[in-house]
Structure 1
Amino acid sequence: MELSEYPDSEMMMMRLADILAGQLKQALLANDRASLAVPGGTTPGPVFDNLCSVDLDWSRVDVMLTDERWVPESSDRSNTALLRRRLLVNRAAAARLIPLYADAATPEEKLEELAAGLEPCLPLSVVLLGMGTDMHTASIFPGADRLDHALNGDDLLVAMRAPGAPEPRITLSAKVLKDAFHRHIVIVGSQKRLALDDARELSAEEAPVSAFLKDCTVHWAET
């Protein structure tokens, strides 16, 4: 694991956007298309604000979430809606969104369909992950109902339910995330830094993020 520390989160988000853009450009030099997977939530929003205006051939980039809550885009909890507002705008509006939600009561009903849309984008060019203070990443939570399957199974997507998560989730599996050419984790604050330090000493079942720290760059700022 490589740890990059920054004086403040504003500088970190700008630098991280530059790094992601550079790796996407490299991928496009070698391939017809590139793929980018990103988290939802509030932390990566400033990265998106910087990345969306970068001059690259976004029409050849497939963008997806690392995980999604099983809610429609009309919900204020939809990460897809966040992605449309903050990343798939300006120059990045030309990118192709690979959905992780479809209209159904449960994610299990649409797993096969959504996985079929994801498969042509693999292996992923660049992955950006977040991390919770409980040491989850994507929607791979400690104590989740299909934790072992998400960490060790061969499926591309996994439907997950976890304590404290008010709705079902769908997540890229560890297999998909680990196979990415470039992997980054972005965290802010002293609590998450302590959680990261703890995760390095724990098993993936106790701290799922620990499964992704090898060959990964963690970007951290205290404020």
Structure 2
Amino acid sequence: MRTSNFASPQELNLAFAERIARLLNEGIATRGKASLVVSGGRTPQGMFAQLSQQDLDWSKVVVSLADERWVDSSDESSNEKMVREHLLQNKAQAATFIGLKNPAQRAQDGVDDCVAAIAQMPLPIDVLILGMGEDGHTASLFPCSAQISQGLDLNYPKPYLAVQPTTAPHWRMSLSLAALLNSRHVFLHLTGEGKKAVLDKALAGTDEFEMPIRAVLNRADVELVWAP
């Protein structure tokens, strides 16, 4: 794992946004389009605001989510709502967004529509930005869920699976480990000493079912982007 440390979240947000923009520009120049898959939560919001103002041909960028709570897109806990409010603004309004929540009442019944939607995205993913929970989950690959074996199975046949964590509300839709690994550039974006301690614990152990972030760290060239 490579590490980029910054003195403050504000310094991180600008530098990371500029780095992502360069990578997306490279993807556009090389392949005509570029793909960006992001995570939810509060951590990336400031960086998204900076990224939304970067100069690139956003009309050639496809944005989607690593995971989503199975709630309406107007719900305060919706990752789509957060991304629309913080990233798909300013210049980034021109990007194509592929949401995960669809009309299916149950997440389990919405998997196939999500699989069809990802077919619109340039693959491999150009830039994947992951977060990490206090329990070591990433995307919605929760150690507590009954679906974690499927999610970490590299032979699982679909890029998405429905997940029900027992330690957090809502069914979720999540990219599988294999789908996450199908990325050219993988970043783990963390802030605060608490998350750094969780990461240190993850790096010190080997059980991927205990802390699923280990499954990504063990198989991908991950760059940690961190600020206290």
How far did 1:120 drift? 3.5
**Whole-Å Cα distance in 2 between the matches of residues 163 and 109 of structure 1?**
20
User: Is structure 2 residue 42 aligned with structure 1 residue 36?
Assistant: no
Unaligned 5+ runs, structure 2: none
Q: Does the CA contact (< 8 Å) of 1:27 and 1:34 recur in 2? A: yes
Q: Using structure 1 for the length normalisation, give the TM-score.
A: 0.97
How far did 1:221 drift? 1.1
Count of aligned positions: 222
Aligned to 1:22: 22
Letter in 2 for 1:2: R
Percent identity between the two aligned chains: 35
How far did 1:202 drift? 2.8
How far did 1:198 drift? 0.9
How far did 1:166 drift? 1.1
- Look up the SS of the partner of 1:68 in the other structure: strand
Aligned to 1:58: 58
Letter in 2 for 1:195: V
- Look up the SS of the partner of 1:185 in the other structure: strand
Aligned to 1:210: 214
Deviations 1:110-146 (A, max 9, x none): 2111111102422111100011111111111112111
**Whole-Å Cα distance in 2 between the matches of residues 189 and 61 of structure 1?**
30
Letter in 1 for 2:187: H
Aligned to 1:221: 227
Which sits farther off after the overlay, 58-67 or 209-218? 209-218
Letter in 2 for 1:220: W
- Look up the SS of the partner of 2:188 in the other structure: strand
Q: RMSD of the alignment, in Å?
A: 1.0
Which sits farther off after the overlay, 205-214 or 44-53? 205-214
**Whole-Å Cα distance in 1 between the matches of residues 207 and 28 of structure 2?**
36
Aligned to 1:175: 178
**Whole-Å Cα distance in 2 between the matches of residues 36 and 197 of structure 1?**
27
**Whole-Å Cα distance in 2 between the matches of residues 215 and 114 of structure 1?**
26
